[in-house]
Amino acid sequence: MGSLRPRSGGATEPDARTRILDAAEKLFAGGGYEATPTAEIARLAQVPKGLVFHYFPRKIDVLVALIDERTLVEEVPEVEAVPGDAAKSLSRLARRLPLRASPAMRRILFREADTHGSVRDRLGRLNGEIVRRARFALELALPTRRGDAARLEVAAVTFAAVLLHQENLCQLTGHHIDPDAVAELIAHALG
Amino acid sequence: MGSLRPRSGGATEPDARTRILDAAEKLFAGGGYEATPTAEIARLAQVPKGLVFHYFPRKIDVLVALIDERTLVEEVPEVEAVPGDAAKSLSRLARRLPLRASPAMRRILFREADTHGSVRDRLGRLNGEIVRRARFALELALPTRRGDAARLEVAAVTFAAVLLHQENLCQLTGHHIDPDAVAELIAHALG
Amino acid sequence: MGSLRPRSGGATEPDARTRILDAAEKLFAGGGYEATPTAEIARLAQVPKGLVFHYFPRKIDVLVALIDERTLVEEVPEVEAVPGDAAKSLSRLARRLPLRASPAMRRILFREADTHGSVRDRLGRLNGEIVRRARFALELALPTRRGDAARLEVAAVTFAAVLLHQENLCQLTGHHIDPDAVAELIAHALG
Amino acid sequence: MGSLRPRSGGATEPDARTRILDAAEKLFAGGGYEATPTAEIARLAQVPKGLVFHYFPRKIDVLVALIDERTLVEEVPEVEAVPGDAAKSLSRLARRLPLRASPAMRRILFREADTHGSVRDRLGRLNGEIVRRARFALELALPTRRGDAARLEVAAVTFAAVLLHQENLCQLTGHHIDPDAVAELIAHALG
DNA sequence: GATGAATGAGAATTCATTCAT
DNA sequence: TATGAATGAATTCTCATTCAT
């Protein structure tokens, strides 16, 4: 499990709070937030039950802390787009979503979107950021023509939809999408 | 709530089993499966608690019955596509997903995809059917060119992603997608 | 399962009441009276749940009927003892307990002795009858000596204990007793 | 009720776990395991319902703990037999069964033999130990003769049967056995 | 900070029994 | 006589949360 917080480095055993979050991350990703008892978090974290509530007074605080500390939507100004090559720019975006989070945290992010506002918000910001980057990449790649703004926006939104759809439902339904091919398709549509 | 089962027509009060499913549909869509106690289903359905278990021995059976009886993925051979007009064909598909289910059932379908295999399966079939129809629509609309099969497939998959993404996450994140615009974009990409 | 009631002979399917008792016999012997739901009796008997209560208004009536109709302690005057051969007489008794009941009913008889007075009574009568027969066998077999009445009684009671212990606990604990050897031992003690 | 665990001595109120086992011991002996609700155990123990499940996650664990902690089959090498006096040796054995358990626990041991394997095992070991001791007592008491091993074994098994039969069924059927008289009978048979 | 016993509301499920048909 | 839906109290078990130490 990936933490965004610096851990006490080397071979040291992570501290109790970290172990609790590690356990919750695994369990929430597996069975879901509602179906995971705090007692099981404690057991897996190898901490006494009471300690979970010492760090996280209510169960929901564990989820909030996970989202807060272990997912990061990268909203940096500089986006690595390839000027003049829309397809390549989108492919890059696909290969490296502006989301720093472990696979488990990604599952939680999508799965528990209904559970708490903070999760939903994070997901919304991720979507927004992907759209923003896709838009930027396309703007940078394409010769500026008038009247293209709307179409470019649609392309960006579409690409974001494909990426998030893949992250979320494709894993469940077993379908597969090749983002590179989609990138090329979209680039072609705008070209 | 929409039932695929024929109800006892007219103003007759629906029978107990139907009322239970009606109540479950509303509650699962609202608070989610795990967070909904069977007692609340019974209360809303105005039946004694025991009757819920008379019809559905375990709680999960209520969810399975809902998916089973109140969602239908239309897998019919004839698809109404407009020959020669890819964009219009896709737009039509967007306007009428091959999914017969109430808005509440749609919410349940996406929300509880992790909860039980039967939900996941249904969702997978929905995705598959949308892809199939999009593919068919595009094949019918476009002049047959060699080597385009792959690109056409990508277009179909992309369109399906957009539609399902809209049904699922757009409602949560507050973003919006105009399927018609996406349809046009894709048609243009293949045109 | 053995019924003491005459069944409708030949290959005819037994009637509902009989099937209910057949099912109860098997289930009570297997899991015990308390742990057997009436619904399961109905299921195994392949009769609707309501019919069980038609024939047996309360659940305990099923057990009482079983004991009543499917166990018989033979309290007949004529006992086949071998005059002059105590060991042989006891052996015969062991080989044919004065209890007409299927193995399942025997299990129920011992297992549910605490559950209802009628079961306890039947068991008491069985014990009494075995003692009576053992006593009779020994009296018949042995030359009448004064002062031996008490010892003979002890022998009879001992033999009954061995037989019932075997029927009851030996089956559970996996131990084994050879009644013939015990018969010989006792005969020797009195000889 | 006798506990094999050391209690907090003196007039101190026993702790919650002990009170739960005390209550269960009384209730299981009275009405039987199946017929005793955990809620009644809690009530009698004067602890909240939840605490029963804190210590014993499933109801059966209460029974298992009782058997485990409150019955002990004494399997010690040294057996106090009276050399040369078989009858007396057996009488001693009868007077002090190698079973450390309260009368209530004895009732539970025999009554719930079908309920759980652990009970059955304990009962089996008790039977085995009694046989072993009876055998030892007789070996010690009797002059060693050839070919008597089998008869001695039968005698031991018989005596064990009588003792356990008395503990178990005699209480139910109302019959009575005088172990001393049986001891004498057996001694006489081997004498 | 750490701990695990304690709490009790409430969850799922069971089940004997009733009853209208 | 036959049926299975209906009932609701009771039962086992869960679990977030508190709290004394």
Query: Tell me, what's the pLDDT at D5?
Result: 44
Check whether residue D132 has its CB closer than 7 Å to nucleic acid strand F. Answer: no
Please give the full DSSP string across chain D, using - where no structure is assigned.
---SSPP--TTPPPPHHHHHHHHHHHHHHHH-STT--HHHHHHHHTS-HHHHHHH-SSHHHHHHHHHHHH-EE---S-----TT-HHHHHHHHHHS-SEE--HHHHHHHHHTTTT-HHHHHHHHHHHHHHHHHHHHHHHHHS---TT-HHHHHHHHHHHHHHHHHIIIIIHHH-----HHHHHHHHHHHH-
Instruction: Lowest mean pLDDT of A1-15, B64-78, C52-66, D103-117, name the range.
Output: A1-15
pLDDT tier at D7 (50, 70, 90 boundaries)?
A: very low
SS3 assignment, position B143: coil
Distance from CA of D46 to the nearest CA of C (A): 26
The pLDDT of B32-45, averaged and rounded, is 96
Q: Are B110 and B170 in contact (CB under 8 A)?
A: no
Do A149 and A84 lie in one domain? The reply is yes
Token readout for C132 is: 């009576």
Half-sphere exposure of C23 (CA within 13 A, CB side): 21
Query: Tell me, what's the pLDDT at B92?
Result: 92
Token readout for C26 is: 């098997």
Do C168 and C81 lie in one domain? The reply is yes
Give me the helix-helix angle, A117-141 and A103-111, nearest 10°: 110
The A residues from 21 to 80 touching B (CB cutoff 8 Å) are 32, 34-35
Residues of D in contact with C185 (CB under 8 A): 151, 154-155, 158, 186, 189
The pLDDT of C150-155, averaged and rounded, is 93
Residue A179's contacts (CB-CB under 8 Å, 6 or more residues apart) are A90, A91, A94, A95, A162, A163, A166
Do D92 and D181 lie in one domain? The reply is yes
Total residue length of chain D: 191
Subunits close to D (at least 3 CB pairs below 8 A): C
Distance from CA of A186 to the nearest CA of B (A): 7
Residue ending a domain, among A69, A91, A106, is A69
The pLDDT of D138-157, averaged and rounded, is 84
- CA nearest to B182, candidates D36, A56, A156: A156
Do D101 and D155 lie in one domain? The reply is yes
Q: Give the dihedral sign, CA D77/D81/D87/D88.
A: negative
Query: Tell me, what's the pLDDT at A8?
Result: 46
What span, in angstroms and rounded, lies between the C-alpha atoms of A156 and A79?
14
User: Which run of H or of E encompasses C122?
Assistant: helix C117-141
Do A63 and A157 lie in one domain? The reply is no
Question: Are the beta carbons of A157 and B177 separated by less than 8 Å?
Answer: yes
Query: Tell me, what's the pLDDT at D82?
Result: 81
The pLDDT of A10-16, averaged and rounded, is 77
User: Which run of H or of E encompasses B73?
Assistant: strand B72-73
The pLDDT of D157-172, averaged and rounded, is 93
Strand partners, D72: D100
- CA nearest to A191, candidates A50, A87, A112: A87
Query: Tell me, what's the pLDDT at A10?
Result: 53
Q: To probe the interface with A, which of B132, B145, B172, B186 has the most A CB atoms within 10 Å?
A: B172
How many of the other CB atoms lie within 10 Å of CB of A40?
15
Query: Tell me, what's the pLDDT at A83?
Result: 83
pLDDT tier at B145 (50, 70, 90 boundaries)?
A: low
Query: Tell me, what's the pLDDT at B144?
Result: 67
Side chain identity at residue B72, one-letter code: L
Q: Which residue of A has its CA nearest to B186?
A: A189
pLDDT exceeds cutoff 60 at D2: no
Query: Tell me, what's the pLDDT at B76?
Result: 82
Pick from B131, B161, B188: CB nearest A189? B188
Average pLDDT, chain A: 90
Query: Tell me, what's the pLDDT at A11?
Result: 58
Residue ending a domain, among D26, D52, D69, is D69
User: Which run of H or of E encompasses C99?
Assistant: strand C99-100
DSSP state of C100: E
The pLDDT of C48-52, averaged and rounded, is 95
What span, in angstroms and rounded, lies between the C-alpha atoms of A114 and A116?
6
Do B28 and B91 lie in one domain? The reply is no
State the maximum Cα–Cα separation within chain C, in Å, rounded to a whole number. 64
pLDDT exceeds cutoff 60 at A78: yes
Query: Tell me, what's the pLDDT at D145?
Result: 64
The pLDDT of A55-68, averaged and rounded, is 97
Instruction: Lowest mean pLDDT of B48-62, C22-36, D161-175, name the range.
Output: D161-175
% of chain D at pLDDT higher than 70: 91
Do D64 and D84 lie in one domain? The reply is no
Residue ending a domain, among B40, B69, B98, is B69
Q: What is the pLDDT of residues D108-127, one digit of tens each?
A: 999 999 999 999 999 999 99
pLDDT tier at C149 (50, 70, 90 boundaries)?
A: confident
How many of the other CB atoms lie within 10 Å of CB of B45?
22
Residue A139's contacts (CB-CB under 8 Å, 6 or more residues apart) are A152
- CA nearest to D106, candidates D130, D64, D70: D70
pLDDT exceeds cutoff 60 at C125: yes
Tell me the three-class secondary structure of A140-180, residue by residue: HHCCCCCCCHHHHHHHHHHHHHHHHHHHHHHHHHCCCCCHH
Residue C109's contacts (CB-CB under 8 Å, 6 or more residues apart) are C67, C71, C99, C101, C119, C122, C123, C126
Backbone angles phi, psi at C67, to 5 degrees: -60, -45
The pLDDT of C174-182, averaged and rounded, is 93
Q: Tell me the CATH number at C58.
A: 1.10.10.60
- CA nearest to B74, candidates B7, B141, B3, B132: B132
Query: Tell me, what's the pLDDT at C3?
Result: 46
DSSP state of B7: P
Question: Are the beta carbons of A178 and B111 separated by less than 8 Å?
Answer: no
Do D138 and D170 lie in one domain? The reply is yes
Query: Tell me, what's the pLDDT at B140?
Result: 86
Residues of B in contact with A127 (CB under 8 A): 169, 173, 175
SS3 assignment, position B4: coil
Please give the full DSSP string across D133-168, using - where no structure is assigned.
HHHHHHHHHS---TT-HHHHHHHHHHHHHHHHHIII
Distance from residue D126's CA to nucleotide E12's C1', rounded to whole Å: 40
Backbone angles phi, psi at C8, to 5 degrees: -65, 110
Do D87 and D163 lie in one domain? The reply is yes
pLDDT tier at A3 (50, 70, 90 boundaries)?
A: very low
pLDDT exceeds cutoff 50 at B37: yes
Query: Tell me, what's the pLDDT at B5?
Result: 44
DSSP state of C98: S
Token readout for B1 is: 């709530």
- CA nearest to C133, candidates C60, C59, C76, C67: C76
Q: What is the pLDDT of residues D68-92, one digit of tens each?
A: 999 999 998 767 778 888 899 999 9
Radius of gyration of chain D (CA): 19
Backbone angles phi, psi at B100, to 5 degrees: -95, 105
Query: Tell me, what's the pLDDT at A187?
Result: 92
**Full residue range of the structural domain in which residue A44 is found:** 4-69
- CA nearest to B139, candidates B91, B99, B82: B82
pLDDT tier at A132 (50, 70, 90 boundaries)?
A: very high
Distance from residue B38's CA to nucleotide F9's C1', rounded to whole Å: 17
> Angle B148-B151-B154 (CA atoms, 0-180°, nearest 5)?
150
Query: Tell me, what's the pLDDT at B11?
Result: 55
What span, in angstroms and rounded, lies between the C-alpha atoms of A118 and D21?
47
Question: Are the beta carbons of C164 and D164 separated by less than 8 Å?
Answer: no
Pick from D124, D154, D161: CB nearest C161? D161
Q: Which own/partner contact pairs does B113-119 have at CB distance under 8 Å and 24+ positions apart?
A: B113/A169, B113/A172, B114/A32, B114/A111, B114/A172, B115/A32, B115/B33, B115/B34, B115/B60, B115/B63, B116/B60, B116/B63, B116/B64, B116/B67, B118/B63, B118/B64, B118/B67, B118/B68, B119/B63, B119/B67
Pick from A113, A154, A178: CB nearest B185? A154
Side chain identity at residue A151, one-letter code: R
**Better-scored residue on pLDDT, B5 or A161:** A161
Q: What is the pLDDT of residues A149-183, one digit of tens each?
A: 899 999 999 999 999 999 999 888 889 999 999 99
pLDDT tier at C127 (50, 70, 90 boundaries)?
A: very high
Q: What is the pLDDT of residues C1-17, one digit of tens each?
A: 444 444 444 557 889 99
The pLDDT of B122-127, averaged and rounded, is 96
Question: Are the beta carbons of B127 and A168 separated by less than 8 Å?
Answer: no
How many of the other CB atoms lie within 10 Å of CB of B143?
8
Q: What is the pLDDT of residues B84-94, one digit of tens each?
A: 888 999 999 99
Do D38 and D97 lie in one domain? The reply is no
Strand partners, C80: none
The reported pTM is: 0.89
What span, in angstroms and rounded, lies between the C-alpha atoms of C129 and A165?
80
Tell me the three-class secondary structure of chain A, residue by residue: CCCCCCCCCCCCCCCHHHHHHHHHHHHHHHHCCCCCCHHHHHHHHCCCHHHHHHHCCCHHHHHHHHHHHHCEECCCCCCCCCCCCHHHHHHHHHHCCCEECCHHHHHHHHHCCCCCHHHHHHHHHHHHHHHHHHHHHHHHHCCCCCCCHHHHHHHHHHHHHHHHHHHHHHHHHCCCCCHHHHHHHHHHHHC
> Is some CB atom of chain A closer than 8 A to the CB atom of B117?
no
Q: Which residue of D has its CA nearest to C188?
A: D189
What span, in angstroms and rounded, lies between the C-alpha atoms of A182 and B156?
10
> Angle C19-C22-C25 (CA atoms, 0-180°, nearest 5)?
150
pLDDT tier at B179 (50, 70, 90 boundaries)?
A: very high
Question: Are the beta carbons of D172 and C35 separated by less than 8 Å?
Answer: no
Do A171 and A79 lie in one domain? The reply is yes
- Which residue is closest, via its CA, to the C1' of F6? B51
User: Which run of H or of E encompasses C86?
Assistant: helix C86-95
pLDDT exceeds cutoff 50 at B152: yes
> Is some CB atom of chain C closer than 8 A to the CB atom of D124?
yes
How many of the other CB atoms lie within 10 Å of CB of B84?
11
Average pLDDT, chain D: 89
pLDDT exceeds cutoff 70 at C187: yes
Query: Tell me, what's the pLDDT at A174?
Result: 87
Question: Are the beta carbons of B158 and A185 separated by less than 8 Å?
Answer: yes
Do C90 and C162 lie in one domain? The reply is yes
The pLDDT of A94-110, averaged and rounded, is 95
pLDDT exceeds cutoff 90 at D98: yes
Task: Please count the structural domains in chain D.
Answer: 2
Residue A128's contacts (CB-CB under 8 Å, 6 or more residues apart) are B173, B175
Query: Tell me, what's the pLDDT at A146?
Result: 58
Radius of gyration of chain C (CA): 19
> Angle D60-D61-D62 (CA atoms, 0-180°, nearest 5)?
90
